[in-house]
Amino acid sequence: MAQGRSNAEIGNDLFMSATTVQAHVSRILTKLDLNNRTQIALLAHDAGLTDQPRLQQPMRSTPSARSSNHTS
């Protein structure tokens, strides 16, 4: 949820139906006295429970790397 994913996307990863995920989200909202998914995401982030997605840089081949792979 903290990554902005839909119930269906979460359900696919956890092998659950979107309806089951929705029920769990509803229970989280009730137990934590929150109003929406954004508040859940903020709470999870502040508690350090989220993984920050990192941008991956493509690996670049250097001239020395290319020449060392060449066999004579």
Considering the domain boundaries, does residue 63 fall inside one?
no
Whether residue 46 has pLDDT greater than 80: yes
User: Is 27 a domain residue?
Assistant: yes
The pair of three-digit structure tokens given for residue 60, joined into one six-digit string: 């670049």
CATH of the domain at 41: 1.10.10.10
- In contact, 29 and 40? CB cutoff 8 Å: yes
- What confidence tens digit (pLDDT) does each residue in 49-71 have? 887 654 455 556 555 555 555 55
Residue 35 lies in a domain: yes
Number of Cβ within a 10 Å radius of residue 21: 21
Q: How high is the pLDDT of residue 7?
A: 94
pTM of the model: 0.63
Rounded to an integer, the average pLDDT of 3-7 is 87
Structural domain harbouring 17: 1-48
Does the pLDDT at position 40 exceed 70? Answer: yes
Structural domain count of the chain? 1
